Amino acid sequence: MSFDERAPVSVAGGILLTPHRAWCSGHDAAMRQMRKAGRAAWNEDDYDLAVRTQGRLLRHLGGHYEQISADMIGNEEDATR
């Protein structure tokens, strides 16, 4: 089962949170920070911000947090091969 098939959770403001949206939010936060600093590539601080943002949102999904994180890390590693 992919992480997008798990049940989404509604959070503040009525936004439907899914693991994919949590990943996208982390990515967007890091991209904004990178661009604001005038860089063309992420540095370690950008990556850390992406992970912290994603983790904070994934906690809303409850007990699936560790498995979802493992799924996303696995998918990211596959994409770089």
Quick: pLDDT tens for 19-74.
Answer: 888 899 999 999 999 999 999 999 999 999 999 998 888 887 765 555 555 555 55
Provide the residue type at 37 as one letter.
A
Whole domain around residue 58: which residue ranges? 18-76
pLDDT for res 64: 56
Q: Smallest Cα–Cα separation from 20: which of 35, 34, 38, 3?
A: 3
Close Cβ partners of 68 (under 8 Å, ≥ 6 residues apart): 3, 6, 19, 22, 58, 61
Q: Which residue would you say has higher pLDDT here, 80 or 42?
A: 42
pLDDT for res 37: 97
Question: Into how many domains does the chain fold?
Answer: 1
* 49 is a domain residue: yes
* 72 is a domain residue: yes
Helix, strand, coil share of the chain (percent; to 5):
75, 5, 20
* 33 is a domain residue: yes
What's the rounded Cα separation, in Å, for the pair 57 and 65? 9
* 3 is a domain residue: no
pLDDT at 16 over 50: yes
pLDDT for res 8: 62
* 60 is a domain residue: yes
